[in-house]
Amino acid sequence: MLQIGVGWAGVDTLIRVKRLIVNADDFGLTSGVNRAILELHEQGVLTSTTLMANAAATAEAVEIALATSTLGVGCHVVLVDGEPVLPVSEIPALVEPETGRFFPTLGKFLKHIYGSVGRRAAIATAIEAEAFAQLSRLKSKGVRLTHLDTHKHTHMFRPVLEPVLRAAVRAGVERIRNPFEPQWAVAATPGAPAVRGLQVRVLRSFESGFRRRVAAAGLRTTDGAPGVLATGTLDAGTVSSLLAALPDGVWELVTHPGYNDADLGRARTRLLAQREVEMQALGALAGAPGVELISFAEI
């Protein structure tokens, strides 16, 4: 929320405006995802992205980031369904011993971190170390990180949030995604699976604790993240519906654009053809009346 105090006859006037960050996750996943993100930014409808530190097309994404100063670039911290930056020997509590990779699904990851009562301290230490390593790798390449978020929104859970916040403070990253979808966005998202809608509403109970911990760590965040519920179903109709319902404040529209090519087909992602649907859908943002498109650098 932008607040401007204007003194007049001893009275301050509060001006509230609608500000929207349009963020694309998975920068660096494939060349087709990278190309889509750059094209949408050049079209003026995408303001921000989050970059994977250890993905197949990370090096190309870094080159694009360094050459595109108007694009806000954060770190998409990966703690599930991917390969760590640190050697497995340094973070054994965070990987599957059989593969040396992170747990392949969010469900298995959560079962591990909540079920390993005797290893919670070791898991937290490993999360902080790996998150810091990912942030540091991108910074060492010259990327000026505007913020961070996490793959699969794992930082909405306290055992992940607290070590991730510590890593952010150590790395000098001052902003983080608020991954919770507000009720107005749930109501404005037609066609989303009912089970996913229930999950989003249940998880929102974590938001007050999230806000307290983010504030205590000295980081900034948004008012919420429309688009999380629509992951896998985001289309032009949904984008238009969300824009029509958008209230005053600072919001982040979470998107996953990309070209559905052979590289994406080989990637571990359930979003294939849907990524091209999202590319078309974001065109609805062009010239949206009364909405200021910003990046995380501006909050």
Enter the DSSP assignment of 289: T
Confidence of residue 100 (pLDDT cuts 50, 70, 90): very high
Is the pLDDT higher at 157 or at 263?
A: 157
Say whether pLDDT at 13 is over 60.
no
Residue 141 lies in a domain: yes
10 Å CB burial of residue 133 (0-12, 13-18, 19+) is buried
Q: Which amino acid is it at 267?
A: A
Cα separation of 26 and 23, whole Å? 10
Residue 189 lies in a domain: yes
Cα separation of 227 and 238, whole Å? 9
Residue 153 lies in a domain: yes
Residue 12 lies in a domain: no
CATH number where 182 lies:
3.20.20.370
Q: What is the per-residue pLDDT for 272?
A: 61
Residue 13 lies in a domain: no
Q: Is 14 helix (H, G, I), strand (E, B) or coil?
A: strand
Q: What is the per-residue pLDDT for 268?
A: 66
Angle between helices 207-217 and 158-171 (to 10 degrees): 20
Confidence of residue 196 (pLDDT cuts 50, 70, 90): confident
Q: Which amino acid is it at 274?
A: Q
Confidence of residue 269 (pLDDT cuts 50, 70, 90): low
pLDDT in tens, 240-258: 999 999 999 999 999 999 9
Cα separation of 291 and 249, whole Å? 10
Mean pLDDT confidence for 95-119 = 92
> Nearest to residue 77, comparing CAs of 163, 190, 195, 194?
163
Vertex 242: Cα angle to 240 and 247 (nearest 5):
125
Mean pLDDT confidence for 197-217 = 93
Cα separation of 261 and 246, whole Å? 33
Say whether pLDDT at 16 is over 80.
no
Question: 124 lies in which domain range?
Answer: 18-298
> Nearest to residue 126, comparing CAs of 83, 172, 160, 154?
160
Residue 9 lies in a domain: no
Say whether pLDDT at 12 is over 60.
no
Q: Is 8 helix (H, G, I), strand (E, B) or coil?
A: strand
pLDDT in tens, 118-134: 899 999 999 999 999 99
pTM to 2 decimal places = 0.91
Tokens of 38: 């750059």
The total number of structural domains in the chain stands at 1
Cα separation of 57 and 16, whole Å? 40
Q: How many CA atoms lie within 13 A of 261 on its CB side?
A: 12
Residue 1 lies in a domain: no
Is the pLDDT higher at 13 or at 265?
A: 265
Say whether pLDDT at 8 is over 50.
no
10 Å CB burial of residue 25 (0-12, 13-18, 19+) is buried
Q: How many residues appear in the chain?
A: 299
Say whether pLDDT at 289 is over 90.
no
The percent helix, strand, coil of the chain (3-state, each to 5) is 45, 15, 35
Q: What is the per-residue pLDDT for 4?
A: 35
Tokens of 49: 């992205």
Confidence of residue 79 (pLDDT cuts 50, 70, 90): very high
> Nearest to residue 76, comparing CAs of 41, 128, 22, 28?
28
Q: What is the per-residue pLDDT for 287?
A: 79
Residue 5 lies in a domain: no
Say whether pLDDT at 195 is over 90.
no
